[in-house]
Amino acid sequence: MPQKRVILEMGTGNDLHGGDYTKAATRAVFDALHHSSLGIARAIDVDIESMEVTVTIGVQQPDKVDTDAVKETLPHGQVTVKAVKGGVDIPDEAGGDFAIIANAAIAVTLDLP
């Protein structure tokens, strides 16, 4: 049976001081996860560990995201995480640092007829 996307959820996270792209990314994933429920998997009697979960993180410096750390925040499924160019860095000229805004898109697919 083919994989079909059954959930697409988005979230936003930030790190206001410290320039930690991974912290902003994990907060974005947390935000997205808490906007959804996996009721569909239970309703159709699918093992939630068989779900394919694809996480896309958008930040200004994707190479600074620890995708393995982000992956560890997902509670179920076969998880893949990729970081891409996106999000927003907001400089604080007076403070000498910057705030990071990260976006997360979590897509869940199931093997359905």
One pLDDT digit (tens) per residue for the chain, 113 residues: 678 888 899 999 999 988 999 999 999 999 999 887 767 767 777 777 888 999 999 999 999 999 999 999 999 999 999 999 999 999 988 877 889 999 999 999 988 76
Residue 1: what pLDDT? 62
- Please tell me whether the overall predicted TM-score, pTM, comes out greater than 0.85 for this model: yes
Q: Which domains does the chain have, with CATH numbers?
A: 16-92 (3.30.1330.20)
Residue 18: what pLDDT? 86
C-alpha distance from residue 26 to each of 23, 57, 69, 94 (Å): 5, 9, 8, 27
